[in-house]
Amino acid sequence: MKTFELFIDELGISNPSTVQSEVYVLCGCVIDKTDKEDLRIKADQIKFKFWNKTDIVFHSKELGNDENDFAIFKDNLEKKQDFLKDLYALLGSSNFSIFIIILDKTIARQKGWNSTKVIKETARKLFYHFIVWLLGMGRSRGKICIESATAEKDAYYLKEFSYFLSPGAKELAVDYKIIRDIVTSIAFV
């Protein structure tokens, strides 16, 4: 039986009243547990090539703005293009699936949603899609790993995760016991 891991991170601020960004994005990356180490090794090779260390985090905002660790590219377009070539080759040769939930904060404001509602709704949609994907894969199990933000936000994620493990989940026409068997854990890191 294959085991897939869903890694979740967010982009933007969940509060609809903030205008820093008009969207809130919740992204999930699913990878077969057996492929995870190979992907990490290849990513570490790129990190070592450009930084001589491997504790670099590939954050798109920092990369796009040449900030923090990516400041090495600020005045060196050739070096950045070399890095992007390696990064795109890594992504193109890797076997993973992506789930992206994008929320328009203007619409959320119009509906009267607050930050809590945004987190709950986007988390529920992402978990739903992961569960359906696992069901479609057949004879598979899944684990969820979330980049922890705050205790309050983690509690909302945990509540939405628990929703699908209980008899009350209405979105899926599948017995909750089957879901409990295929989605085996959630971790906050």
- Mean pLDDT, residues 10-38: 89
Q: What angle separates helix 33-51 from helix 77-93, to the nearest 10 degrees?
A: 170
| Res 60 pLDDT > 90 | no
Query: What is residue 151's predicted lDDT score, i.e. its pLDDT?
Result: 86
- Sorted by sequence, the CB contacts under 8 Å of residue 109 that are 6+ apart come out as 16, 17
Residues whose CB is less than 8 angstroms from the CB of residue 145 and which lie 6 or more positions away in sequence, other chains included = 5, 6, 7, 8, 186, 187, 189
Across 76-95, average pLDDT: 95
Residue 17 confidence (pLDDT): 84
- Tell me what the pLDDT averaged over the chain comes to: 92
Nearest to 42 by CA among 91, 82, 96: 91
**Percent above pLDDT 70 for the chain:** 100
Q: At 6, which amino acid appears?
A: L
Q: Which strands, in side-by-side order, build the sheet including 140-146?
A: 96-104, 23-32, 2-11, 140-146, 183-188
The token duo for 112 is 């009267």
Residue 44 near residue 181, CB atoms below 8 Å: no
Rounded Cα distance between 107 and 86, Å, is 38
**pLDDT band at residue 133 under the 50/70/90 scheme:** very high
141-152 tens-digit pLDDT: 999 999 877 888
Question: Is there a contact between 7 and 99 (Cβ–Cβ < 8 Å)?
Answer: no
Say how far apart CA 161 and CA 115 lie, in whole Å. Answer: 18
Report the percent of the chain where pLDDT is more than 90.
Answer: 78
Alpha helices in the chain (DSSP H): 33-51, 60-65, 77-93, 105-110, 115-137, 151-164, 176-182
